[in-house]
Structure 1
Amino acid sequence: MIRHWHLGDDRQSLVLASFDNRLPETVYWGPALPEGESLETLSAVSRMDVTGGMVDENAAVSLCPEASQTFPGQAGLTARSRDGSPLAPAFRYESEAASEHGLTLVFADTALDLTLVFDLALTPDTSLLKLQTRLESADVIQVDWLAAPVLPVPAHTNEMIEFSGRWCAEFLTNRLPFAPGARVRDNRTGRTDHAHFPGLIVCNKATTNTAGEAFAFHYGWSGGHRMVAEELADGRRHIQFGHASASQAAGRHFVTAPLYATYAPGGFNGTAVRFQRHLRDHIVTGARTPRPVHYNCWEAVYFDHKLDELKAIASRAAELGAERFVLDDGWFGRRDDDTSSLGDWIIDARKYPDGLTPLISHVNALGLEFGIWFEPEMINEDSDLYRAHPDWVLGPTDQIRGRQQLVLDMAREDVRAYLYDQIAEVLKNNDIGYIKWDHNRVLPVVEAAQTDGVYQFLDRLRTDFPHVEIESCSSGGGRIDFGILERTQRVWLSDSNDALERQRIQHDAALFLPASVTGSHVGPRHCHTSGRTLDMRLRAWTAAQRHMGFEMDPRELTDDEAATLRKVTGWWKDNRNWMMHTDILRLDSPDPAIIAEQQLAGDGGRFVVFAALTRPSDQILPHPIRLTGLDPASIYRLTLANRDEAPRLSRGMPLLKTQDLQASGQYLMSHGVTLPWRFPETVFVLEGRRI
C-alpha cells in the first residue's frame, strides 16, 4: 500500500510517500509539477534496486530515518528509556489532517507508546516549507537527538554552502563538495553564535547568484543546533537540522524548532528572496515605519556617561539626521567597566542623580526616540543580585568566565520574574521606545530550556510593552535567526563598524536577511575594531545599504565629513520607504574586488545598485556589471547618484559621468553597466527606474 501527499504551488513541489504505512519519505522535491501528475507513479518509480553486498531492502531516507529499519546513516531520532536502554521505534501510520496550506501526519509505535507527528506547511506568499517534528511519549524518556523533518537533496547537487565566522566577521561562507560520509556541525555554544549560523545552501558547481538551482535551509532556533549533511554509501544525500545533541531534559513531550526550506531555480537570489520576504512580511512584527535613522552612543563614550556630553552628542546626531538615540551600556548599578553590576537594573544615581528624565527629555525635544541597552540574561559576581542569589547562575561554580560575567538560569521562573520586575520598572517610568538586547558570551552548558525561557520572557515583555521595539544583539551577530526575530524587530549584524568588513558581512547575510531588519552604522573615522581609517563616503554609503544608523562621536566630524553624512542620510530618508521593502539581489561580478548588489522594488519599477570596490582591481579598467531581475523588453533610466565622487584619475568621459543612461532590461542584464574608474575602498550608487 502506498500513501502519498503533495505540498506545492507554482514555484515548487514536495511529494511524500508512505510505503506499507511506514514513515513518509520524499520522492520528489524540485520545480513545480504540472497538474495531473501521477503521484502514485512518482512514488512507485522512487523504489531503488538492490544488488550484491546490500541488505534486501533499502532503508528509506524518511522524514525521520529509523535505526530499526537498518538505516545506514545518521538516524533522525536517538532516544533512551528511563533506565538508559536505547529505543529503536518502528513507527506506523496513524492519522492525518489537512489544512489550507499544509498537513499534519501522525505515526505511532504502539509497543513503545511513542507518537511521532510531522507538521508540514508551504507558506502561500513566500513559498517556504515550514517543517516541524513532535515526539510524544507515554513514559519519561531521554531524547539525545530529534531531527526536524529530514529532506533529501538530489544527486545532481554536488556542493553545499555552510556558514561559519567569528566576532566581527559573521556570515563567512564555505563552499564544500559533497563526499561520502556525514558533515556534522554540532553547535555547543547555547546560542545561534557567530560561528554557527543555522543555515545551509545545497547547489551544484554551476550555481551562481543569478543562475542555477539551489536548495536552502534555515533552522529557526536561538539555542545550540545540530546540522547533518550526509552522503550515504549508496549515493543518496539528506539534510538534518535540530537542537544541539543532548540539549533537552528528559520528559514526555519534545518538539523541534521550525525548519524553513525552499527550492528555487534562480540561483542563490532565488532562495534568498523567499527568506528575505518571509522574514520581513510574516515573522517580524511591530517594527517602526518608516525605519528611523539610528544613533548609538557606545563607540562615543563607552562606560563614561556624563549628562552634558550625552546631550551634546544627541544634539549633534540630530543635526546630522538621526531620529533615534540609544543609550548603551553603563547607565545602571555601578557600571564603570564590564566587571560589575549586570543584574542590577537600577539607574546609577552617581551618573544620573535625577534619573534618566533629563536626558530623555532633551532627546525627545530634538525629535528623537529614546532607546536603552540591557543584557538581561547575564550577571556579574560583583553585583547585588549575585550576592543575594548565587544559586541563580547557570552551570558549575568553577566554570570559565566570559567577558567577566556569568549566565542567569533563564529556565527558572523566579529568575524571569525578577528580571521582568526590574526591566518593566525602567520602561514604565521612562519614555523608552527601543531596547538594544545584548548577550555577550557563550553558555557554560547547552540547554534548550535556557532558550525556551528567553522566549517566554521576551514574549511577556512584547505583550506588556507592545510599543517598545527590540534589537537582538549578541556581541554583534551572535544571535540572528528566525526564532529570535519572531520576538524582535532588528538585528545588530556585527560589532564591526569597519565598512569594508561590513560590505562582505552584509552581502552574505542577504542570503537570508532583508534590509529592514539589518542594522548598519556609520562608525568612527578610525575604526575601533579593525584599526583602519576609512573615508566617510565609504562608511556612509555602506550604512545606507541597510537600516541606517551612526555609531561614533559625531563631534569628531570635519565639516566635509558632516556634509557627506547629511547628504547620504538625506538620500536614505528619501528612499527608505521603498528600499526597506526591496529584494536584495546579489550580483555576479567578473571582478573579484567588487561586491555588488541590486535592491529591486517589489513591482520591478525601480532599483538601486551598490557596487563597492573593496581593493585594487587586477585590471586597469572596470568590467561591466550585469544587472538582474529586470523586464527584458522595458526601458530603464539609470542615474549615477554619486557621480561627483569620481576621482581626477578618471580622465575619460564615460556616459554615466555626465548624464543618465537609457537602455533595455535585456541590455542591462546581458551586457551590463560599465561604471567610471575609481579608487579602491569606494562605493558607486546607481539608481534605476523603468520608463
Structure 2
Amino acid sequence: MIRTWRLDDARQTLALSSTDGRMPQVIYWGPPLPEGENLDDVAEACQIDVTGGMLDENPDLSLCPEAARSFPGQPGLIVRDADGTPLLPKFTLRDVQTDDGSLTVICEDTANRLTYTAEIALDPETHVIALTARLNSDRPLHLHWLAAPVLPAPQTADEMIDVAGRWCGEFQLNRTPWSPGIRYRENRTGRTGHEHFPGLIVPCRGAINASGQAYAFHYGWSGGHRMIAEELPDGRRQIQFGHAARMETAPATEFATAPLYAVYSSDGLNGCAVSFQRHLRDRIVTWTKPGTPRPVHYNCWEAVYFDHDVPKLKDIASRAASLGAERFVLDDGWFGQRDDDTSSLSDWEVDPRKYPEGLGPLIDHVHAEGMSFGIWFEPEMINPDSNLYRAHPDWALGAEDQILGRQQKALNMALPEVRDFLYDRIAALLHAHPIDYIKWDHNRVLPMPDATQTRGSYALLDRLRADFPQVEIESCASGGGRIDFGILSRTQRVWLSDSNDALERLLMQHNAALFLPAAVTGSHVGPRTCHTSGRMLDIEFRAWVAAQRHMGFEMDPRELDAREEAVLRDVTSWWKDNRDWMYAADNLRLDAADPAVIAEQQLATDGSRFVVFAGKARTSTQIAPRPLTLTRLDPQARYRITLRNRGSAKALSRGKLALKERSLDLTGTALMHQGLTLPWSFPESIWVLEGQRL
C-alpha cells in the first residue's frame, strides 16, 4: 500500500510517499506538479529495477535511511543504548499531520522504544523549505549522528558546489564532480568556521548564475556540522546535514537537529540565492528598529588597535562623522589591563588608565557628532592572565594544558554561573550607557566539539536580546568564522572577513551572496595599505566595494588626503541615497563573459531600478572589454542606464563610448541578451552602472 503527501508553492512541489507503512521518502522535488497528478504513479515511476548483484528489493532512501533495512549508504541515525549497545532502529509510520504548507511525520520503533519526528515547512513567499528532525526515547541514549530529514540530489547534476575558506579568505567555492561514494565534510571546531560554511549547491547540468535548475542547502547551526553528499551503488544520491558527529557528549532522552534550509530553483543559482537572502532577511533576522535605515559604521580597530586615547578617539570620531559615518564602534582594548591580546578577556570593566572618567565623555562626544555608539565584546573567551581566570580557572572549557588560541581559552558556556556572570557584566554596561550596538567576537576554535557550548551561547544571546531589544548585535569570529542562520536568528549583522582588502572582499562578497543579503553583510572601507594583505588600493575601488553591502569605514581617517576624503564622502552620500531600496534588493550574480570581471546586479523588489557593480579583479586576456549581460529585467520595458563613475575612465580608455558621455535607453531584452560594453579599465577598479525603469 502506498500513501502520499505533497507540499506546493508557485515554484515547486515536494512530494513524499510511504510504502507498506515504512518511513516516508521524497519521491519528487522540482517544478510544480499539476494539481491532479497521480502521486501513487509518481512513486511507482521513481522505483528502480533489480538486477544481478542486488537485493531483491531496493531499500528506501527515506527521510532517515535505516541500516536495519539493508540501506547501502550512510544511515540517517547512529545511536547507542545507555550501556553502549549499538541500536539499529527500524521505523514504521505512525502519523502524518498536515497543516497549511507543512507536514509533521511521526515514526516509531516499538522494539527499541524510539520515536522519530520530521517537520517540513514550505514558505510560499521565499520558497525555502525548512526541515528538522527529532528523536525521542523513554530512557537516556548516546547519540553519534542524527541527520536532518534527508533529501535526494538530482541525477542530472555533474558537480556540487560547497564552501571553504580561511582567515581573511572566507567564502571560497569548491566544485567537486559527483562520483560513486561520498563527499564528506565535517567541521569539529565548535563554531561555524571559516573553513566549513554549512552550505551546498547542486546545479543541474548547464546551470549558471542566471539560468538552469539548481538545488541549495544550508544548515542553520553555529556549533559545527557534518555534510554528506553520497552517490549510492545503484546511482541514487542523498544529501545529509546535521550536527558534527558525537557533538552530544551526554546521554539524553531527546535529540534534535537544527533547521536544514533547502531551496529548488528553476532560475539558476540566483534563484537559490534570492530565496536564501529573502528568507534570512525577512523571516530569520529580528531587526532592532524595523524600517529605519542601516547606519554607516565607523570602527576604530585599524586606526588605534589597543592604543586607546580619549582625545585621539574624539578627533577620529569627528573626522569619521564628517565623512558620513553614523555609528562609532569602539573595538578591543577598552577594558581590564588590555594593552595587547594576551590579557584581560572576561574582565569586562572599563580600564581607568585609558578612560579615567569612564566611557561617558567619549560616548557624549560621539553623540554630539550625530553618531550612535557601539562597543566590542568577546564574551565566550577568557585569558589565563585575567582576574576571572585567577578566581575561576574551572570555568574554562577543556584541559588545563590545552593549546591556546590568540592567548586565550573558551569559557564553558554550558555552566549557568558563567552565563550569569557574563550577562551581569554586559548588562551593567548597557544599563549605564546609551549603547545601541555590540560587536560580538569569537576569536578561537573550541578545544573540542560540544553542542552544549553552542546552546549556552545561544541562551546568553537570547537573554540579552530579550532584555535589550534595541541593541543590535554583530556576529564576528576572527571575521567570518561564525556566519549561519542560527546565529543570525539572534544577531543583525555579520563581519564577513577580517580582511578589508577590497580586491579580496570583491570575490568573498560575490560568493557569500549565494546565502546572505546585503543588509546583514558588513563591509568597510579599509586603509590605503591593507593591514592584512599589504596591498595598496585606490580609495574609489575601496569605497565602491564597501558600498555593495552594509557600508562602513575602518581606517585612520587622519591618513586621508583631500581627494580621498572627497571620494569617500561622494560614495557614502550615494549609498545613503540608495540604501532604503537596496536594503530589500535581490543581489544577483552576473555571468560575466570575461573571467577577470566579478559583477553583480542589485535589483529593487518592484523591478523599478537596479545598480550593477562590475569589478575587475585582474588583467583580462583579451585587449578590449567583453559585453556584460544583465538579468531578471522585464524584456519589454525600457531602462535608462547611467555610468555613475564615468569620470574614472583612464587615459588608456580612448574610445568614444556613449556611456562615458551620457545615459543610454535600452530594453530589458537588449540588456539581458546583447548586454553592455563598459569602458576599458585597469585591474583593481570597478564600474558602477545605475538603471532606472522608464
Deviations 1:32-63 (A, max 9, x none): 11111111111122222111111111111100
- The one of 510, 526, 537 equivalent to 2:540 is 537
1:216-615 equivalence runs, <5 A? 216-248=216-248, 249-288=250-289, 289-615=292-618
Regions of 4+ moved over 3 Å: none
Distance change in 2, residues 1:568/1:683 (3 Å): same
Secondary structure of 1:584's aligned partner: strand
Number of residue pairs the alignment of both structures matches: 691
The CA distance in 2 between the partners of 1:173 and 1:197, in whole Å, is: 10
The structural deviation recorded for 1:287 is 4.3
The structural deviation recorded for 1:371 is 0.1
1:581-660 equivalence runs, <5 A? 581-660=584-663
1:176-255 equivalence runs, <5 A? 176-248=176-248, 249-255=250-256
Q: Which amino acid aligns with 2:579?
A: R
The structural deviation recorded for 1:69 is 0.3
Partner of 1:64: 64
Identity %: 64
Does 2:155 correspond to 1:152? no
The structural deviation recorded for 1:157 is 1.4
Secondary structure of 1:314's aligned partner: helix
Secondary structure of 2:171's aligned partner: strand
When structure 1 is superposed on structure 2, of 48-57 and 666-675 the one drifting more is 48-57
Does 2:129 correspond to 1:129? yes
The CA distance in 2 between the partners of 1:444 and 1:117, in whole Å, is: 32
Deviations 1:74-110 (A, max 9, x none): 0000000011111001111112222212011100001
Check conservation: 2:156, 2:205, Cα contact below 8 A: no
1:31-46 equivalence runs, <5 A? 31-46=31-46
The structural deviation recorded for 1:594 is 0.3
Check conservation: 2:154, 2:204, Cα contact below 8 A: no
The CA distance in 2 between the partners of 1:237 and 1:176, in whole Å, is: 14
When structure 1 is superposed on structure 2, of 96-105 and 546-555 the one drifting more is 96-105
The structural deviation recorded for 1:154 is 2.0
Instruction: Provide structure 1 residue ranges, at least 5 long, that are not aligned to the other structure.
Output: none
The CA distance in 2 between the partners of 1:535 and 1:624, in whole Å, is: 25
Check conservation: 2:10, 2:124, Cα contact below 8 A: no
The CA distance in 1 between the partners of 2:462 and 2:635, in whole Å, is: 46
TM-score (normalizing by structure 1): 0.99
The CA distance in 2 between the partners of 1:370 and 1:62, in whole Å, is: 51
The structural deviation recorded for 1:299 is 0.2
The CA distance in 1 between the partners of 2:85 and 2:405, in whole Å, is: 37
The CA distance in 2 between the partners of 1:165 and 1:251, in whole Å, is: 34
The CA distance in 2 between the partners of 1:502 and 1:422, in whole Å, is: 34
Does 2:677 correspond to 1:670? no
Q: Which amino acid aligns with 1:466?
A: P
The CA distance in 2 between the partners of 1:16 and 1:158, in whole Å, is: 25
Deviations 1:151-171 (A, max 9, x none): 001211121001100000001
Does 2:689 correspond to 1:686? yes
The CA distance in 2 between the partners of 1:348 and 1:519, in whole Å, is: 28
Check conservation: 2:615, 2:685, Cα contact below 8 A: yes
Check conservation: 2:16, 2:27, Cα contact below 8 A: yes
Check conservation: 2:11, 2:32, Cα contact below 8 A: yes
Does 2:82 correspond to 1:79? no
Q: Which amino acid aligns with 2:530?
A: C
Q: Which amino acid aligns with 2:188?
A: R
Secondary structure of 2:466's aligned partner: helix
Check conservation: 2:288, 2:469, Cα contact below 8 A: no
Secondary structure of 1:166's aligned partner: coil
Partner of 1:171: 171
Q: Which amino acid aligns with 1:366?
A: E
Q: Which amino acid aligns with 2:371?
A: L
The CA distance in 2 between the partners of 1:117 and 1:548, in whole Å, is: 43
